[in-house]
Every structure is written in C-alpha cells, then in structure tokens.
C-alpha cells in the first residue's frame, strides 16, 4: 500500500514536470498574441471617467474570465471530436477583429472632426455616459472573447500531442495567466496618473525624485493612451491577418515573399475593408427596408 502511495506521488511529480515544460513552450508561442492582447485591451479600457476606470476594468476582467470558462471546454471538445471546426471559428473571429480595426481607421479618417465637434457642443447626460460605458464594456468583452479563442487555440496546438490531462492543465494555466497578467498591467496603465499624484503629494510638492517621477507619469499617461489606441488598432488588424495567413494556404502563398508582419497587416486590412464595406452596405439595405 505504501509503495502504491509513493507511486501516486511519483506520477503526480512526472505530470507536474510535463505540465511545467509544456506551459513554458505554450507561453512562448502565445507571447506575441498576449502583447497584442495587452495593447487592444488597454485601448478598450481607457477613455472612461477617472472614478469609473477600475470598476469598468473589473467588469471587463470578469467578462474575460467568463469568456475563458466558455471557451476552454468547447476547445477541448472540438480538439477531441471535431477539430475541423476550429479553423472556420478562427476565421470568423479574425473577420470581426479586422472589422473593428478597419472601422476605427475609417472613423479616424472621415468622422474624427465631426465627432469632436459633437462632443464639444453637447455635454452628455449621466444616462448617456452610462450607456456609452456599457457599450464599450460589451465591445471590450467581445474582442477579448475573440483574442481568448486565438490564445487558447495556439496554446492547445502546442500540446496537442500530449495526454488530455496535460492539455487541460497547460491550456487552463495559460488562459488564467493571460487574463491576470493582461488586465493587471492594464489596471496599472490606466491608473498611472493616480500614482503620479500620490508621488507628488508624498513629496510635499517639493523638488525631488518623487515629484519628478509623479509629474512624468501624469504627463506620460495621455500620450501612452494615444499610442496604445494606435497600437491596439494595428494589433487587431495584425492578429486578424495572422489568422488568415496561417490558416488559408493560398493567402499564405500570396504574401509569403513579404516580411511576416507586413503581409499579415495587409491581409488583415483587406479583410477589414471587405467586412466594413459589407456591414455598411447591409446597414443601408436594412434602413431602406424599414422606411
């Protein structure tokens, strides 16, 4: 009986060793996508009233955990029983990401001044602010869902040859670390100004390292948010393009001569433009139908 007990410990030790090794491999494969995820979610979680940033971020984080809770069992079942369905799901998700990126670019190029004037002239009511907040949270959770699918699938592909228990543990660990890591960093980014003000207060507004660092953090935040907005948009297009390049052979052949990032960006942008054009065309048709 004692030998059986120690054998069980030995099996657990071997399993944990396999999990540690494969988790390291899966983390390396998903590192680039996690960086994109950070940029996208930092952009999505910014732009709220200061007092609402952390509550909003917490809502998005809870939504992200729920996304993982939905995605993980479905991914394991698809991998085991219907692996051919994974690529079409990824392509649909990629189209949505490309659409989001293309829509942001379109809005910036053609409606930026109009929106700015509208904001300057009309102060939104509390109900309108809450409605916009809810809409942005919903959008952030949807984008998180698509990015989470990509992260889970890439992590799963790195352990697909391993036993199912190793697959479940490794991919689950990656999913949890991705959520905690990404949204933890996003929380730090969006609260940089608060940290800056606290450092200035701690310095007694006297010249010194604390005041200098605090002032730098406060001045850096608006610039960083603008940069992350651009990076987040580019990241969505890159992730979308990468999905199509890596999963459709003829598209891969069309852009294989180009540098990887450039090829993925071009493909993602084209997919986004097509999706945006279709969306606007269908919207006009539905509007005419209602009239």
Residuewise pLDDT in 10s, the chain (291 residues): 444 444 443 444 444 444 454 555 445 545 555 555 666 666 666 656 666 777 888 888 888 899 989 988 988 888 778 878 878 888 888 888 889 889 888 888 886 665 444 444 456 666 776 777 788 888 888 878 887 887 787 777 777 677 777 778 888 888 888 888 888 877 777 777 777 877 777 777 677 777 788 888 778 877 777 777 787 788 778 888 888 998 899 999 999 888 888 999 999 999 999 999 998 888 888 777 666
Query: Could you tell me if residue 213 is inside a domain?
Result: yes
Burial of 115 (0-12, 13-18, 19+ CB in 10 A): exposed
CB-CB contact of 281 with 131 (8 Å): no
172 contacts: CB under 8 Å, gap ≥ 6 = 72
Query: Could you tell me if residue 83 is inside a domain?
Result: yes
Query: Could you tell me if residue 26 is inside a domain?
Result: yes
Tokens of 127: 């109900």
Give the chain's domain count.
1
- Residue 121: its pLDDT value, please? 47
Which 3 state secondary structure label does DSSP give 26? helix
- Residue 256: its pLDDT value, please? 87
CA distance 72 to 29: 18
Query: Could you tell me if residue 205 is inside a domain?
Result: yes
186 contacts: CB under 8 Å, gap ≥ 6 = 38, 41, 42, 45, 57
Query: Could you tell me if residue 36 is inside a domain?
Result: yes
Determine the structural domain holding residue 281 and report its residue range: 14-290
């Amino acid at each position: 009986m004692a030998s059986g007990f120690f054998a069980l410990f030995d099996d657990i030790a071997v399993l944990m060793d396999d999990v540690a090794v494969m988790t390291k491999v899966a983390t390396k494969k998903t590192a680039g996508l996690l960086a994109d995820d950070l940029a996208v979610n930092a952009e999505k979680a910014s732009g709220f009233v200061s007092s609402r940033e952390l509550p909003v971020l917490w809502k998005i984080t809870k939504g992200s955990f729920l996304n993982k809770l939905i995605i993980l069992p479905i991914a394991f079942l698809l991998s085991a029983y219907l692996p051919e369905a994974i690529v079409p799901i990824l392509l649909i998700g990629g189209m949505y990401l490309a659409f989001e990126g293309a829509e942001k670019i379109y809005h910036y190029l053609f409606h930026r001044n109009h929106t700015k004037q509208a904001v300057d002239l009309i102060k939104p009511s509390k109900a309108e602010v809450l409605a916009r907040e809810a809409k942005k949270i919903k959008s952030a959770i949807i984008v998180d869902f698509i990015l989470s699918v990509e992260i889970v699938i890439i992590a799963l592909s790195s352990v697909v040859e391993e036993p199912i228990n190793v697959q479940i543990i490794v991919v689950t660990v990656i999913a949890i670390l991705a959520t905690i890591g990404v949204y933890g960093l996003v929380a730090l980014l969006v609260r940089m100004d608060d940290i800056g003000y606290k450092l200035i207060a701690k310095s007694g507004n006297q010249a010194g390292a604390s005041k200098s660092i605090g002032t730098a953090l406060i001045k850096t935040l608006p610039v960083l948010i603008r940069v992350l907005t651009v990076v987040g948009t580019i990241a969505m297009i890159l992730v979308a393009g990468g999905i199509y390049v890596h999963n459709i052979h003829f598209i891969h052949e069309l852009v294989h001569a180009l540098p990887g990032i450039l090829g993925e960006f071009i493909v993602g942008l084209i997919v986004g433009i097509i999706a945006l054009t279709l969306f606007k065309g269908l919207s006009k048709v539905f509007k005419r139908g209602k009239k």
